[in-house]
Structure 1
Amino acid sequence: MQAFVTGGTGFVGSHLVRLLLQQGYKVKALVRPSSNLANLRGLDVELVKGDLTDSEIWQQMRGCQYLFHVAAHYSLWQVDRQLLYRYNVIGTRNILEAARKAEIERTVYTSSVSAIGVGAAGKPVDETYQSPVEKLIGSYKQSKFLAEQEAKQAAARGQDVVIVNPSTPIGSLDIKPTPTGDIILRFLRREMPVYLDTGLNFIDVRDVAWGHLLALQKGKSGDRYILGHQNLSLKQLLEQLAEITNLPAPQRTIPAWIPLSVAWIDEKILAPLGKTPSVPIDGVRMAQQHMYYDASKAVRELGLPQSPLKAALKDAVDWFMAEGYVK
């Protein structure tokens, strides 16, 4: 059986590609001409150059039975609003239409817990919860909500589309890195003297890959499945990193108004003058919330693995060290 994968060069996508190959699938991967192909090097994958918005991409999907649409544009910068809408919303609409034309049997669409929103006072929420789109902080979250609506509408029209909502994956091959990978890196580089009082739901990235394959095999069309595991405060995550690395964890919190002030000056005053901003306003606003989730539906209905988080953190640390991210 052959699968067509978008976003295969990225963090989650490259783990999914490896899993598909291990499980006997042939893989075609859509890559942009400018993509960093390091995560696919040495793998038996057919590369297809193109873009999510290409009108003829359906022709490259012919002969494939399954589509995993993992690709998305990620940015917390307010100036990237139009790019986020183009690639995440229009791109998803185009890819789903291409799958229909190519007679793809089943699609797994990678949404995000960002599209769901957060519960009151840090209460974990499940797939039945939904924040109003106007209450989702930032253009990235809003674009993922709108993109998920495209997937739901396609399923309502009879297309076989299963939606997965990963929380915060951790592990190797985080080449960009992701915001969580950046936290790990700053910890390793001793660039984190203080921390914000926030919290996230974390999961081993390999379990996220399995969640995609299990959604293909067992998921219900039109349903969404949170791919998550452990709800931890940032302090708890840093303490686990300290145990793994024998480096001290920061002990002091910082009030949110300080990074928020820096971010506002960066984005609103210095960026228009040509300076590259370092702290996104929306990123700080998000960090003021505890983003906790309940993944029991995916565990119950799909058999989503719940691997120990400390092993994933050690994988991430070892990979960043081996790849020269920490000098």
Structure 2
Amino acid sequence: MILVTGGTGLVGSHLLYHLLQENDSVRAIHQKSSDLNAVKRVFHYYTSDFDDLFKRIRWVEASLDNIPSLETAFEDISHVYHCAAMVSFDSRDYQKMRRINIEGTTNVANLCISKKVQKLCFVSSVAAIENSNGKGLTDEIDNWSSATDKSGYAITKYGAEMEVWRASQEGVPVVIVNPGVIIGSGFWQKGTGRMFSNVKKGLKFYTEGVTGFVGVQDVVKAMSHLMNSNIQEERYILVSENLSFKEILFLMAKFLGVQPPKFKINRFLMGVLWRIEIFRSRITYSTPLITKRSAKSAMSVNPYTSRKIINDLNFQFEPLESCIKKVSKDFYQDLKG
């Protein structure tokens, strides 16, 4: 039996659909507050039989910090896809991210060891990989430096990776994937989904920071291929293309049929904006739309290479223009109800 953590998130929900094409049933963890309908929404992008497919998921209510509930979820499990994580660039969420991303992964790793799981796939992030020489494309052999300034998210994803590598030293075959910024359908109020929503509403501003982007379908396809291969104790960057945020936003505008953003934000203006937003969020007790960390990311140039997985698995990534076209179609489908 396969177990998926984070099954109601972007990667987890698309992964569940992919796994159910090859398995009669899959077990997935959800929290009491999780929106299971989000998974149905993702399934309906793929097939009209989404209800029947959804019924084949064996849901277990569990939390990464509740070991007894996790032990129930791990009964008779052979393979684990650990997708659950908290993503935030708000400094107020750092301790919560440590509990979920590091301590939660510690619990998953320990259960993989004690239950003698046959293989573990962990979804990390390119945020946990640092360009050690400051030149060229970042790849899997670049070293992490604790001396440089990093976001709480990056720190906790790196800490989670250390727990996965510990499991590998204690007999669990593991693979780690490090996706870039993931583009996918179904979650229009968070991550890149919110970018589609904002562009549709008439977003006026753009930045020219560069990073690696990848479609969610490529992420789950790579995870499945790696788990079904003999590869273990390896990590793989998953990036389809390195593009600027301007290029991504303009592609979204193109396929949503709206005007692209007109005004470029420079570093000075970005600094003003994130400070204003932090002040607003403190007064209103809300989540800031821009933080110092997210502003820095939007302005930085951080390209990556996926040549390792391309060479090892002859893997082919979907062009981002094609991916954004598909996601735009799904966005309009949801918009029309």
User: TM-score, with normalisation over the residues of structure 2?
Assistant: 0.89
Does structure 1 conserve the Cα–Cα contact (< 8 Å) formed by 2:88 and 2:153? yes
Does structure 2 conserve the Cα–Cα contact (< 8 Å) formed by 1:31 and 1:50? yes
The letter of the residue matching 2:20 is L
CA shift, 1:270, in A, is: 4.1
Taking structure 1 as reference, are residues 208 and 322 closer, same or farther at Cα in structure 2, changes over 3 Å only? same
Aligned-residue Cα RMSD (Å) equals 2.1
Q: How far apart in 1 are the matches of 2:280 and 2:197?
A: 26
The letter of the residue matching 2:267 is A
Q: 2:92 aligns with which of 54, 59, 79?
A: 79
CA shift, 1:137, in A, is: 2.7
Matched, 1:133 2:146: yes
Partner of 2:62: 50
The letter of the residue matching 1:187 is V
Structure 2 matches for 1:2-81, cutoff 5 A? 2-24=1-23, 26-41=25-40, 42=51, 43=54, 44-56=56-68, 57-81=70-94
Does structure 2 conserve the Cα–Cα contact (< 8 Å) formed by 1:167 and 1:202? yes
Structure 2 matches for 1:82-93, cutoff 5 A? 82-93=95-106
Q: How far apart in 1 are the matches of 2:145 and 2:104?
A: 22
Task: Give a deviation string over 1:69-96, Cα, whole Å, max 9, x none.
Answer: 0000111111001001000000001011
Taking structure 1 as reference, are residues 273 and 80 closer, same or farther at Cα in structure 2, changes over 3 Å only? same
Taking structure 1 as reference, are residues 38 and 119 closer, same or farther at Cα in structure 2, changes over 3 Å only? farther
Matched, 1:157 2:170: yes
The letter of the residue matching 1:69 is H
Task: Give a deviation string over 1:166-223, Cα, whole Å, max 9, x none.
Answer: 1122122235421x22222211110x21211211212221111101101112263221
Partner of 1:208: 219
Task: Give a deviation string over 1:276-311, Cα, whole Å, max 9, x none.
Answer: 233222110222212211011112213433112222
Partner of 1:226: 237
Partner of 2:315: 304
Taking structure 1 as reference, are residues 72 and 325 closer, same or farther at Cα in structure 2, changes over 3 Å only? farther
Q: How far apart in 2 are the matches of 1:316 and 1:206?
A: 11
Q: Report SS of the residue matched to 2:225.
A: helix
Partner of 1:288: 299
Partner of 1:100: 113
Q: 2:283 aligns with which of 268, 273, 276?
A: 273
Taking structure 1 as reference, are residues 278 and 239 closer, same or farther at Cα in structure 2, changes over 3 Å only? closer
Structure 1 moving runs of 4+ over 4 Å: 118-122
Q: 1:174 aligns with which of 154, 175, 187?
A: 187
Partner of 1:258: 269
Does structure 2 conserve the Cα–Cα contact (< 8 Å) formed by 1:162 and 1:224? yes
The letter of the residue matching 1:211 is A
The letter of the residue matching 1:182 is R
Runs (5+) with no aligned partner, structure 2: 41-50
| Larger RCO: 1 or 2 (CA < 8 Å, sep 6+) | 1
Taking structure 1 as reference, are residues 240 and 114 closer, same or farther at Cα in structure 2, changes over 3 Å only? same
Does structure 1 conserve the Cα–Cα contact (< 8 Å) formed by 2:175 and 2:231? yes
Taking structure 1 as reference, are residues 271 and 196 closer, same or farther at Cα in structure 2, changes over 3 Å only? same
Task: Give a deviation string over 1:226-276, Cα, whole Å, max 9, x none.
Answer: 112111112222332343234332243111222322322433x44443442
Taking structure 1 as reference, are residues 243 and 273 closer, same or farther at Cα in structure 2, changes over 3 Å only? closer
Of 258-267 and 19-28, more deviation after overlay is shown by: 258-267
Does structure 1 conserve the Cα–Cα contact (< 8 Å) formed by 2:208 and 2:299? yes
Q: How far apart in 1 are the matches of 2:285 and 2:104?
A: 30
Q: How far apart in 1 are the matches of 2:305 and 2:113?
A: 32
Q: How far apart in 2 are the matches of 1:133 and 1:27?
A: 38
CA shift, 1:148, in A, is: 0.8
Runs (5+) with no aligned partner, structure 1: none
Does structure 1 conserve the Cα–Cα contact (< 8 Å) formed by 2:64 and 2:108? yes
Does structure 2 conserve the Cα–Cα contact (< 8 Å) formed by 1:156 and 1:222? no
Partner of 2:334: 323
Partner of 2:43: none
Does structure 2 conserve the Cα–Cα contact (< 8 Å) formed by 1:88 and 1:144? yes
Q: How far apart in 2 are the matches of 1:176 and 1:118?
A: 31
The letter of the residue matching 2:196 is I
Q: How far apart in 2 are the matches of 1:233 and 1:258?
A: 18
CA shift, 1:122, in A, is: 7.4
